A = this chain, B = another copy of it.
Amino acid sequence: MKKLINAPATVLDEFMRGFARANSSLVSLHTDPVHFSRAVPASSPKVGVISGGGSGHEPLGGGYVGPGMLDAAAPGAFFSSPTPDQILAATSSADQGRGVVHLVLNYTGDILNFEAAAELADLEGIEVETVVLDDDVAVEDSTYTAGRRGVAGTIVTMKLAGAAAERGDGLADVVRIAKKANTNMGTMGLALEACTVPTVGRPSFDLGPNEIEIGIGVHGEPGVRRGEMTTADEITDILLERVISDLKITSGDRVLLFVNGLGGTPLSEQFILFNHAADVLDSLGVTIERSLVGNYFTSLEMKGASITLLRLDDELTELFDAPVHTSGWRAGA
């Protein structure tokens, strides 16, 4: 394992402190229990929006805390759920008296711990609503889930729900937006090479020199099938076809086309996937109304990518375009 670290046991603490120092105008790091909150509270009380999950998916986590997106985040250990007390602390920190939305990626551990935290928050008089995010169309049920997994598209739901809260929407409306985004979102990915979790010390799975895994999970969980390496266009066709079919995207639809890099795949390759996906969508009469390409939801240095479609309407497009000011996603004023 060749990594820029000091010791596996200190990686999490050191990187979080480095992150918080580099982004001190946006995010505050709290310890005991560990969570991130906005450095500057909203100017008037709003619905709180939080998320949480395993580390190793940066900038997911503290990187999406800031105006227009999350109020707080609870980061677990690498690829591990945060604890209920972390989630409770993030919830309390996000609470401004108008309720807090928990955006929970659908992994069994996360679901259980967010549920426990929501009960504790209820005892503290904080109204919590939970929206489970499960955009991965590759597999139903899997290593760590009952039902679909939450993968790259979840960060778009965080952005849209965050924008709704930021403009002053009430709890029910923020929940409605998050559910609408999740329902109209589909993602599918593939991996060329595994990543190595520092505390594990060996790659999370093995792929032969000419082998890829289609439908891979963001923790290296098995996907749909292993197969021989093929062209970017053929891979794009496989991923996109499944997403299109799942969402029943048809001619006349307007979409966000989002290509996400898993960490070790150059931007240039991500743009090659985008280019062919755009050709396919054009040929189907689907309008690419918004685009997003980059390493938004990584799996450490995993090589691979995913393709996400979100069916847009005027409401979702307006929320997508709203200003966001986080270290991982910035746009608008």
Question: Residue A298 contacts which of B15, B18, B210, B266 (CB distance < 8 angstroms)?
Answer: B266
Contact with B along A19-41 (1 / 0, CB 8 A): 10111000000000000000000
A291 at the A/B interface (Cβ < 8 Å)? yes
The reply to whether B268 and A58 contact each other, CB–CB distance below 8 Å, is yes
Q: Closest residue of chain B to A7, judged by CB?
A: B231
Kindly identify which residue among B2, B192, B209, B301 contacts A4, using a CB–CB cutoff of 8 Å: B192
Q: Is the interface of A mostly helix, strand, loop or mixed?
A: mixed
A263 to B235 Cα, complex, angstroms: 22
Stretch among A80-88, A144-152, A154-162, A272-280 lining the B interface: A272-280
Contact B58–A266 (Cβ < 8 Å): yes
- In the complex, whether A232 has a CB less than 8 A from a CB of chain B is yes
A9 contacts partner chain B, Cβ-Cβ < 8 Å: no
Taking Cβ atoms with an 8 Å cutoff, the residues of A that contact B are 2-7, 11, 14-19, 21-23, 55-56, 58-59, 63, 192-193, 195, 209-210, 212, 229, 231-233, 235, 257, 259, 263-276, 278, 288, 291-293, 295, 298, 300-301, 303, 305, 330-331, 333
Q: Please, could you name 24 A-B residue pairs with CB atoms under 8 Å apart, sorted by A?
A: A2-B192, A2-B193, A2-B229, A3-B269, A4-B270, A4-B272, A5-B231, A7-B231, A15-B267, A16-B271, A18-B270, A18-B278, A21-B278, A22-B257, A22-B292, A23-B291, A56-B266, A56-B268, A195-B266, A263-B266, A264-B264, A295-B295, A301-B303, A330-B331
